[in-house]
Amino acid sequence: MSTLDREKLRVLFERRGITPRALSLQIGDSPYTVRDIMSGRTKNPRSDTLAAIAQALGVSLYDVLKDDGIASTSTLTPRLTTPKTIPIVGEVAAGLWRETMLANQNPDEFIALSVDGYDPADLYALRVSGRSMDLVYPPGRCLVVAPVSQSGLRVGDHVIVERTRAGLVEITVKELVMEGGKAWLYPRSSSPEFQTPLLIDGSDLDQDAPRVIGVVVADYVQRQRPTEFFTLPANLQG
């Protein structure tokens, strides 16, 4: 019988730098779902919830389970496979209107990452700036994006949204939600400034109308190491 390995989950959370609350919101559940699972308050979590948690953490369901109460010693198996060089072409920041569009024809920053199922896609990355989605993506996180034409859209997707106003451009990230038969773009923010959703209305010819230009298919953060060096005695080095 397979049961949840909470220690493996804890390690994965530390590696990804994400909180249980943020992951709960990312999988579209109650803010306390993952916390209750981690603490043992929810003793028998649903398999579909565990599968969603594993997918959000970038591993298979089997990587968060243990057999017969004995934790597996096998290495965690990532869902990401062949590395791909992905250019970081700009920032995504709500409330910041700029003169330029996204396209950076000569990027000088790249990340080496692979996203299962998106090898043929023209992936690019955007660095998060600001707090419009900080419950899911803190500032500094890099979002890997696929063009809508190559990824399609699904309810619950996190999408890159473009708006134009008086020759200026705003690029933000939002969650695609269906309510009352209409499509909305919701921020997931801790800031009162970013709580108002945007309505997707194809009949609206206003330049401010949001246009979905990409879908977030992965996110990545590299920990910035401290600057002070420390010398460990040779006999204590691994």
User: Are 15 and 129 found together in one domain?
Assistant: no
User: Are 103 and 163 found together in one domain?
Assistant: yes
According to DSSP, the residues that pair with 223 across neighbouring strands are none
**When comparing pLDDT for 114 and 161, which is higher?**
161
- pLDDT score at 47: 76
**When comparing pLDDT for 161 and 46, which is higher?**
161
Query: Over the stretch 71-105, which tens digit does the pLDDT of each residue have?
Result: 443 444 444 445 778 999 988 886 677 766 555 56
- How far is Cα 176 from Cα 158, in angstroms, rounded to an integer? 6
The CA angle 40-43-45, to the nearest 5 degrees, is 110
According to DSSP, the residues that pair with 113 across neighbouring strands are 84
Query: Over the stretch 2-15, which tens digit does the pLDDT of each residue have?
Result: 578 888 888 888 87
User: Are 153 and 197 found together in one domain?
Assistant: yes
User: Are 212 and 141 found together in one domain?
Assistant: yes
Domain that holds residue 62: 2-67
- How far is Cα 199 from Cα 11, in angstroms, rounded to an integer? 38
User: Are 125 and 22 found together in one domain?
Assistant: no
Q: Out of 87-101, 140-154, 188-202, which region has the weakest mean confidence (pLDDT)?
A: 87-101
User: Are 157 and 126 found together in one domain?
Assistant: yes
Query: CATH number of the domain that 203 lies in?
Result: 2.10.109.10
Report yes or no: 92 and 111 within 8 Å, Cβ to Cβ: no
User: Are 17 and 91 found together in one domain?
Assistant: no
Query: Per-residue confidence at 1, pLDDT binned at 50, 70, 90?
Result: very low
Give the count of domains, the chain: 2
- How far is Cα 28 from Cα 10, in angstroms, rounded to an integer? 20
- pLDDT score at 200: 84
pTM of the predicted protein model: 0.59
**Would you give the DSSP letter of residue 96?**
-
Q: What percent of the chain has pLDDT over 70?
A: 84
Rounded mean pLDDT, 183-208: 78
User: Are 121 and 190 found together in one domain?
Assistant: yes
For β-strands 84-92 and 65-67, DSSP reports them as unpaired
Which amino acid, 70? I
Alpha-carbon separation of residue 187 from 193, 214, 216 (angstroms) = 10, 16, 14
- How far is Cα 34 from Cα 8, in angstroms, rounded to an integer? 14
- How far is Cα 144 from Cα 151, in angstroms, rounded to an integer? 12
The dihedral through the CA atoms of 144, 148, 153, 158 has a sign that is positive
Query: Over the stretch 28-80, which tens digit does the pLDDT of each residue have?
Result: 888 889 999 989 888 888 877 887 888 788 777 777 777 544 444 344 444 44
Contacts with 177 (C-beta within 8 Å, 6 or more apart), sequence order? 155, 156, 183, 184, 185, 186, 197
Residue 237 lies in a domain: no
136, 176, 173: which is closest to 156 by C-alpha? 176
